Amino acid sequence: MSQAPSVNPRHVLDVKTLEMLVCPLTKTRLMLSADRTELISVAARLAFPILNGVPLLSLDEARTVEPEALRELPDLKDGH
């Protein structure tokens, strides 16, 4: 059996930190992607990468998220 690769705890985004971050464009709340590799701004339809536990909240680093993909986010599925 192979074990999952260990993740350096320094490279994990802290939940309390996530609660303080907002989209640099809309100043709205960000959501953590299901795979925990991006922070998503639903209002701006942008996804900001997280590299080694550090969110890159630069518009130059962001990618556009299609509306269909936004509907798949866990909080939106539950109607929140």
Confidence of residue 11 (pLDDT cuts 50, 70, 90): low
Q: How many domains does the chain have?
A: 1
Confidence of residue 48 (pLDDT cuts 50, 70, 90): very high
Q: Residue 10: helix, strand or coil by DSSP?
A: helix
**Residue 1: inside a domain, yes or no?**
no
What range defines the domain where residue 49 resides? 9-77
> Which has more confidence, 10 or 79?
10
Which ranges in the chain belong to alpha helices (H)? 15-20, 67-70, 74-77
pTM of the model as a whole: 0.77
Report the CATH number that the domain containing residue 47 is assigned in CATH. Answer: 2.20.25.10
Listed range (9-13, 40-44, 67-71, 76-80) with the worst mean pLDDT: 76-80
